[in-house]
Amino acid sequence: MKSRLILIAALVAAPLVHAADGPLKEKALALAASNKDSVLFLSAVVELEVTVGDNPAKKEERKLEMIGTVIGKDGLIVVPLSTLDVASTIDGRTYNGPQGPTKLSAKGTTKEVKILMPDGSEVEAKVAFKDTDLDLAFIRPEKPDEVKLTAIDTANNAPMGVLDDVIVLGRLGKDLNRQPVVMTNEIIALITKPRTFGKIGTQALGMPVFNKDGKFVGFGINRFSPKGDSDSQGPAPSNVILPAADLLESAAQAK
């Protein structure tokens, strides 16, 4: 009986899978072939300064890796801000420690950003704009004229609908040689308050999402509980899909 309960729990916790067939499979394979280099890993060195209550601030330097998507012909790349600026996810939150609720303050400084190209080379880059409300950071190569990046077609976009079939392009981690990934799934929910987000049955953080016709519908970000929540003990992210229209509106500010 115990083993049966464990099996049921594992099945509930597992991501929803969606086997592609027919036109959906063909479109997914075509997108993967034409945009396999549109999803890239980036690395960053950040300095994090955290203050817990009245205690002295503690500084540390971290090297991070994150997935981003090329969305502009000029080399503009978008990443979830929470994967680049860790401080933004914990600043202003409350930690319930031995002495009771304690306020956390944090600030981060991005000291270095590099684009990890498919051929293994690294390209110097810089942060062009941050949108803390939408969990977006926009990054450009330092010398865009010297770098060839493949952008997804953001102009060919569409809204999301519940139970729409979707295609997600991504990459595996360093341990699996950062190989390109293509997945099919479906929109399992639309969150409409405080703004519209989609939810799919797989992880898509930093990855572009397309519909069955190959139109760009959104980008995977983290959504956090409000910092003012009295029971908040730290960042509790949910991976959601930001609609394409909202992403493009924010990207227009990345000058």
- Identify the bridge partners of residue 42 per DSSP, sorted by sequence position: 66, 115
Token reading at 225: 């509980």
Q: What percent of the chain has pLDDT over 90?
A: 61
Residue spans per domain, the chain: 17-251
pLDDT computed for residue 98 by the predictor: 67
Please name the residue that has the structure tokens 């509930």: 12
Would you mind telling me the total number of residues written for the chain in this entry?
A: 255
In DSSP terms, 169 is beta-bridged to 182
Domain 17-251: top CATH class: mainly beta
The better pLDDT of the pair 255, 221 is held by: 221
C-alpha separations of 61 from 40, 48, 109, 113, 235 in Å: 23, 6, 9, 14, 20
End-to-end CA distance of the chain: 60
Could you read off the pLDDT of 67-83 as tens digits, one per residue? 999 999 999 999 999 99
CA pair distance 93, 105, nearest whole angstrom: 8
Name 251's Cβ contacts closer than 8 Å, sequence gap at least 6: 71, 72, 76, 78, 136, 138, 154
Give the Cβ contact number of residue 195 at 10 Å: 12
Write down the pTM of the prediction. 0.84
Residue 153 banded pLDDT, cuts 50, 70, 90: very high
